[in-house]
Amino acid sequence: MRDETSHDAIKRVAAEILISAMERLEISQRAIVFAAVALETPMSALTRQFKMTEDQVREEIEEGLQVLRTAEGVEDLAGIRRLGDLINFFDHIHRLNLERWFCHRCGNLQVPKPTGRPRITCSNECRYRMNRDRRLGETPPEPF
Ligand SMILES: [Zn+2]
Strand (E) or helix (H) holding 33: helix 27-33
pLDDT at 82: 58
The pLDDT of 118-132, averaged and rounded, is 91
**CA of 105 relative to ligand 1 center, distance in Å:** 5
Q: How many residues does the chain have?
A: 144
pLDDT at 13: 76
Q: 127-141: per-residue pLDDT in tens?
A: 999 999 888 887 666
The pLDDT of 91-106, averaged and rounded, is 87
Burial of 116 (0-12, 13-18, 19+ CB in 10 A): exposed
**CA of 46 relative to ligand 1 center, distance in Å:** 15
The pLDDT-based confidence of 14 (bands split at 50, 70, 90) is confident
**CA of 25 relative to ligand 1 center, distance in Å:** 25
**CA of 79 relative to ligand 1 center, distance in Å:** 29
pLDDT at 34: 87
Q: 24-80: per-residue pLDDT in tens?
A: 999 999 999 989 887 889 999 999 999 999 999 999 999 998 888 887 776 655 555
The pLDDT of 95-110, averaged and rounded, is 89
Task: Compute φ and ψ for 39, nearest 5 degrees.
Answer: -105, -5
**CA of 41 relative to ligand 1 center, distance in Å:** 13
Cα–Cα distance list, 24 to 16, 77, 127, 143 (Å): 13, 18, 32, 24
The pLDDT of 81-85, averaged and rounded, is 56
- Taking the domains of the chain in order of start, what are their residue ranges? 6-135
**CA of 30 relative to ligand 1 center, distance in Å:** 20
